[in-house]
Chains A and B, each alone.
Chain A
Amino acid sequence: MSTSQGAKTGQTENGAESQVTGTFTLKSGLAQMTKGGLVMDVVNAAQAKIAEEAGACAVMALERVPADIRKSGGVSRMTDPKIIKEIMATVTIPVMAKTRIGHIAEAQILQALGVDMIDESEVLTPADAENHIDKTKFTTPFVCGARNLGEALRRISEGAAMIRTKGEAGTGNVIEAVRHARAIRRAIAVARAMDETELYSYAKQLQVPLDLLKKTAKLGRLPVVNFAAGGLATPADVALLMQLGVDGVFVGSGIFKSTNPKKRADAMVQAVVHYDDPKYLAEISEDLGEPMVGINCEDMKEKWAIRESKMD
């Protein structure tokens, strides 16, 4: 990822006055610094503090957690800047915030606020039925949701510095996150087994740039950091997704919709690190109180994960 940047600098003559900001190395680098961590949805400063104290590697500043967005219905938009600013003033860890898909102006506002990362998110109501944001125009890094390798590589080609599975946010049901993590992993394994000739037609089939597909096949993983998201509610859910090879997790409603958010936050942060240690997971899973109630995905009125597929 840093190859081109590194090559450029060898020729720089003088150390002074050659600072550059907003490069892809810096954007994807921030994502790399969140690896092995848990990003927690928070709706106010008090929750942000709990998240930080539990060891979250970043927070997502929101007006309502996804479970409440589902409940209240209607159009869901960018969070009030006042809430975002309060959260930014409260914690020292990175603060992320969501823009609607394709809503360039909301993203510009979030960048002006100085958030550390922007999530172009299907959890909010999409603003553009055909286009995603051209993320290369921004200095702030973006994370985007994906259900499969095609979506993931298209978002990366638009400039996303980080990918997360979509899952089904606000359900407390992990099935979709697992489906998406497995789909991406399986498609990469298929690409890896192909020769160069086959990759041409696979790129066409996936509707992705050939060079990105080649890079992915060579690396055996997505070329940017890849987290799981959408329905994780327990330390075991976290461990399951980590074992499927993601670099970290987002947890939304799963924490602050449970009966003991502090304890659950703590346990889920621990689970990201110790995902391969069932004995330890048994200890930290004990007596966490009731998890969020949860929704069975087949009972849902609206699946958010398919929100951007109409245009894909």
Chain B
Amino acid sequence: MASVKIGILAFQGAFEEHKRCLENAWDKLGSNATLDIIIVKRPNDLTDLDGLILPGGESTTMSKFLERNNFQKLISDLVKGHNGKLPVTWGTCAGLILLANTIGGIDVTVNRNTYGRQNESFEASLMLTNDELKGNNGINGNIYHGVFIRAPGIVSVDSNRVEVLAELTNIDHQVRPVAVRQGNLLATTFHPELTDDDRWHKYFLQMVLERGIPH
């Protein structure tokens, strides 16, 4: 049977939470293929991935691990399609910082801990600006409840190839992007893996399925 292979970078952070969410979302998609989740700790774990998640956690900690075993270049090549395959890659929170600053590939400027320390962490309703994400949910389809923990901010979108998927109206009434997509790359400043709303995991898996399953 065909299988979809999704890796979750597991140096540190909320990788088990993503695993649980992926499994739940996959069941609801009703695909004939099987879902194969790889906990990525070693370079070999990156082989033949259809998708990759860079989870939330501490970006400094994860960067230290990326410096070892040539990991950073391997992932960088992978997400840019240098190995022939172009896996769909999703960074949440710290994962976004890695995608924007360390690994590269997503053209946004990111500011770490943009809202402050833990006491300033917050939950807020945000506006989905992408129809596919809205469409997955009937009631209040355009609202999504975001969990922001010592979250980074997207200070600017630096390319017209970047699509904004969700926006947050800050307390200062400024509207800022909090989720973006650029080709095969997806990034959120908040943590869908800490909620029961599985729209983002479904969206990610649909991105993977749209690319076709070559196995």
Cβ of A45: which chain B residues have Cβ within 8 Å of it? none
| Sample of 15 further A-B pairs with CB below 8 A, known A5-B147, A273-B10 | A9-B123, A9-B145, A10-B145, A17-B169, A18-B125, A33-B93, A36-B11, A36-B12, A36-B57, A37-B13, A37-B57, A53-B64, A58-B58, A116-B118, A273-B11
Q: A152 to chain B: closest CB distance in Å?
A: 19
Pairwise interchain contact A19-B124, C-beta atoms closer than 8 A: yes
Query: Could you list 23 examples of A-B contacts with CB < 8 Å?
Result: A5-B123, A5-B145, A5-B147, A6-B195, A9-B125, A12-B143, A19-B171, A26-B149, A29-B191, A30-B118, A30-B150, A32-B56, A33-B14, A33-B57, A35-B16, A36-B10, A52-B60, A55-B65, A57-B13, A88-B117, A92-B112, A93-B61, A116-B118
Of the candidates B10, B56, B65, B197, the one whose C-beta lies within 8 Å of that of A6 is B197
| B64 contact from A15, A26, A36, A54, Cβ within 8 A | A54
In Å, the complex CA distance between A205 and B54 comes to: 43
Q: What number of residue pairs across chains A and B have CB atoms under 8 A from each other?
A: 155
- A35 to B196 Cα, complex, angstroms: 20
Give the chain B neighbours of A58 by CB distance below 8 A: 58
Q: Which of A12, A16, A29, A53 has the most B CB atoms < 10 Å from its CB? A: A29
Q: Are A16 and B169 in contact (CB under 8 A)?
A: yes
A20 at interface (Cβ–Cβ under 8 A)? yes
Which chain B positions have C-beta within 8 A of A23?
A: 123
**Which residues on A sit within 8 Å (CB–CB) of B140?**
10-12
Q: Does chain A have a CB within 8 A of B121?
A: yes
A141 to B16, CA, bound (A): 21
- State the CA gap A2–B149 with chains docked (Å): 14
Give the complex CA separation of A25 and B118 in angstroms.
12
**A140 close to B118 (CB less than 8 A):** yes
Q: Residues of A within 8 Å of B, CB-based: how many?
A: 52
Contact of B196 among A6, A12, A56, A273 (CB under 8 A): A6
| B104-139, CB < 8 A from A | 112-113, 116-127, 139
Taking the closest CB of chain B, its distance from the CB of A295, in whole angstroms, is 30
The CA-CA distance from A191 to B122 in the complex, in Å, is 34
Write the B145-162 contact mask toward A (1 if CB under 8 angstroms, else 0). Answer: 101011000000000000
Would you call A3 an interface residue if the criterion is a C-beta within 8 Å of the partner chain's C-beta atoms? yes
- Residues facing A in B6-29 (CB within 8 A) are 10-17
- Decide: A36 and B15 in contact? CB cutoff 8 A: yes
Name B119's contact: one of A5, A29, A139 (CB within 8 Å).
A139
